[in-house]
Amino acid sequence: MNHFEPIDGELACEGVLLSDIAQAVGTPVYVYSSATLERHYNVLRQALAAEGLKGENGGEALIAFAVKANSNLAVLKVLAQQGAGADTVSEGEIRRALAAGIPAHKIVFSGVGKTASELAFALKAGVSEINVESEPEIHLASQVAQSLGTRAVIAIRVNPDVSAGGHAKIATGKADNKFGVSFSEAERLYAQASNNAGLRPVGITCHIGSQITDLAPMATAFSKMKGLVQRLRGEGLAVERLDLGGGLGAPYFNQPTPPSPADYAQMIAQTMGDLDVAYSFEPGRMIAANAGILLSQVLHIHRRPEGRQFAVLDAAMNDLIRPAMYDAYHDIKPVLVRQGPMETYDVVGPICETGDTFTRERDLPPLEAGDLVAFLSAGAYGAVMSSQYNSRLLVPEVLVRGDQFAVVRPRPTYEAMLDQDVVPDWL
């Protein structure tokens, strides 16, 4: 469920008409619904609690929002106020999480290639855990921690070698992906880490992909994770935490429906039985995707004599790259629906490459130049992947709460864009 519904026939976000936002801020612009963010976070939280999946000291399981899905400080603050933690993959993301008011003890530092200085920053900040992905990274974490006179709290990322479906570019759980170590390596490394003066291994973690719509591969992976916890404990090693990653799909219109958070939690409870660990999760997409839209204006309707019609928008692949990069499908809705029979459009941006096509041959209500359209389900992996390609200004972001809205990242000026470059004085 989300809060992008019409008011008197005109598409709105919560209590704010999208046309009012377009008028005040211009287009293209991302618009986020704080009520939807809160709702998605709390639906998951309640589902986990209902199945008895607990966190540290018998408290709630940690839901560490994957900051890479949407890293706007205002979005993070909405989630922080609900009690969310953060799953981060760079020093920049740790800094964002802290700046948004997420306490360090709820921040997980993940990622395949952390630098020594990023590890030092994370350790000084006191993050909850560092999810290490390879043997060299474990050694580096140990060295950095010892040089700071501390121990790095680590979880070892295991690659469960399962195919979770979804697009190849976002599948992460097969042995030939770059992520994590095998089960046998994890056992050896966990034992080693337990005897290392710079490390305190507290658990294991996995994350097998994104936009997963089938629980079966997750259940397979999680049951292997349970087996590893039991084997490690059998060797006398302490395993306090189990981080099961993110990856649960979000409902995208016209795409396979993902399992509900309740079904997901139930599957985990059934798979884990009475395994006594503190659970944590790293959802990104399922919280943010349907909490955001990209609002754009039709520049022209370009009709080819052969009959093809192109709706040329003021948004482009640099603003929303998912269709070009992942063949992603976004529902497109006119903000005001014109009367008349459906028409077939290729919806495209103005960038000079064919990849700048949002969709081909989509049946939509009739469109005319000047109309506003919304790309739904654009709150995750949307603005965070935007760029200035073609020297287009970075797309702004707006957050709505009830009947108020605020620009939470302004559109830069052309001067600011040019000021980013430096021409050396010897030219």
Ligand X SMILES: *Cc1c(COP(=O)(O)O)cnc(C)c1O
Q: C-beta of 238: minimal distance to ligand X in Å?
A: 23
The nearer residue to ligand X, 284 or 323, going by C-beta atoms, is 284
The nearer residue to ligand X, 25 or 268, going by C-beta atoms, is 268
Q: How far is Cα 170 from Cα 101, in angstroms, rounded to an integer?
A: 29
Q: C-beta of 375: minimal distance to ligand X in Å?
A: 18
Q: C-beta of 403: minimal distance to ligand X in Å?
A: 30
The nearer residue to ligand X, 158 or 286, going by C-beta atoms, is 286
Residue 13 is a catalytic residue:
no
Q: How far is Cα 210 from Cα 339, in angstroms, rounded to an integer?
A: 38
Sign of the CA dihedral 179, 380, 261, 213? negative
The nearer residue to ligand X, 16 or 69, going by C-beta atoms, is 69
Sign of the CA dihedral 115, 120, 126, 130? positive
In terms of phi and psi (left: phi > 0; alpha: psi -120 to 50; beta: otherwise), the region of 45 is alpha
Q: C-beta of 179: minimal distance to ligand X in Å?
A: 8
Q: How far is Cα 406 from Cα 65, in angstroms, rounded to an integer?
A: 22
* Torsion angle defined by CA atoms of residues 100, 102, 108 and 110, in that order, rounded to the nearest 10 degrees: -10
Lookup result for tokens 């209590």: 15
Q: Using an 8 Å Cβ cutoff, are 365 and 338 in contact?
A: yes
Q: How far is Cα 17 from Cα 19, in angstroms, rounded to an integer?
A: 5
Q: C-beta of 283: minimal distance to ligand X in Å?
A: 5
Which entry of 352, 422, 423, 427 is annotated as an active-site residue? 352
Q: C-beta of 288: minimal distance to ligand X in Å?
A: 8
The nearer residue to ligand X, 68 or 114, going by C-beta atoms, is 68
Q: Which residues bind ligand X (CB under 6 A)?
A: 66, 68-69, 87, 110, 207, 210, 245-247, 282-286
Residues whose CB falls within 8 Å of the CB of residue 154, separated by 6 or more in sequence, listed in order = 129, 130, 131, 132, 138, 141, 193, 199, 200, 201, 202
Residues whose CB falls within 8 Å of the CB of residue 399, separated by 6 or more in sequence, listed in order = 31, 32, 34, 72, 74, 75, 78, 405, 406, 408
CA–CA–CA angle 359, 360, 364 (5° rounding): 80
The nearer residue to ligand X, 67 or 269, going by C-beta atoms, is 67
Beta-carbon count within 10 A of 150 CB: 14
Q: How far is Cα 358 from Cα 331, in angstroms, rounded to an integer?
A: 10
Q: C-beta of 328: minimal distance to ligand X in Å?
A: 13
The nearer residue to ligand X, 320 or 367, going by C-beta atoms, is 320
Q: What size, in residues, is the chain?
A: 427
Residues designated catalytic: 352
